[in-house]
Amino acid sequence: MIYAGNFKSNHTRKSTEYYLKALAQKLGAKQAEDKVYIFPPLTAIDHYEGDFTLGVQNAYPTHHGAFTGEIGLEQLDEFDIKTILLGHSERREHLGESQADISKKFAFFQDQDFEIVYCIGEPLAIREKGFEAVMQYLLAQFEGIDIGYENLIVAYEPIWAIGTGRSATVEEISSTHRALKKVLKHTPLLYGGSAKPSNIKEIKNIAGVDGVLVGSASLETESFLEMILS
Ligand code: PEP
């Protein structure tokens, strides 16, 4: 299983350091084959010790240059960061990233051999239109994306389940993952959207779920650990 924690704009450098120290101490108890990823805010990236991979939530597709407010490869290389989250619905919705912007980032970081956690997900209005509309919407989010890339992890995150406390049902996750797996074949497929200690076992048992991308419930070491060790 893969457990990825996305801090978004939460935690400081100091609290991330504290969090990761506490996490690292307890990760010896996880299954050896399980993988843990943490995506802290950019101000907290650093070299940390522990059985987890540190990634970034965003970066600009450039080595360096005149891109005010952005960071590029040079800044990531300083901390040996080789993992990036792309396509998150919050960046698509609130930061205005288009599919073309995202695919440009994808191609750049693929070229740099980054491990890419690529997020897709539909809004509620599409889910309410039925399964066919959902799949059409999700598959359009693969436009310009090399889904055969060997360092790719896909996260299916229904937007209406993110940060709302309302996870998708077992049937919704199961049918969507089954359909996505037909396209993705061997690419690991995570579920994201209000995954938490109380529903993690149920989610993990769904065929086609290779792990979880977790927002709110990853913010406290105890609750994220509870999920990892469940
Ligand atoms: C996310 O934003 O990737 C996410 C899954 O958030 P939450 O777990 O809070 O729903």
The ligand 1 atom at the shortest distance from the C-alpha of residue 8 is 2
Q: Whose CA is nearest to atom 2 of ligand 1?
A: 215
The CATH number of residue 26's host domain is: 3.20.20.70
Q: Whose CA is nearest to atom 1 of ligand 1?
A: 215
Tokens representing 163 are: 């940060």
What backbone phi and psi angles, to 5 degrees, belong to 28?
-60, -25
DSSP 146: -
- Å from CA of 64 to ligand 1 middle: 30
pLDDT tens, N- to C-terminus, the chain (230 residues): 999 999 999 999 999 999 999 999 999 999 999 999 999 999 999 999 999 999 999 999 999 999 999 999 999 999 999 999 999 999 999 999 999 999 999 999 999 999 999 999 999 999 999 999 999 999 999 999 999 999 999 999 999 999 998 889 999 999 999 999 999 989 999 999 999 999 999 999 999 999 999 999 999 999 999 999 99
The residue behind tokens 């980054």 is: 114
Find the helix packing angle between 170-184 and 131-140, rounded to 10°.
Answer: 40
What's the number of domains the chain is made of? 1
Range of the domain at 222: 2-228
- Å from CA of 146 to ligand 1 middle: 24
- The span from the CA of 215 to the CA of 81, in Å, is 20
- Å from CA of 185 to ligand 1 middle: 24
pTM of the model: 0.98
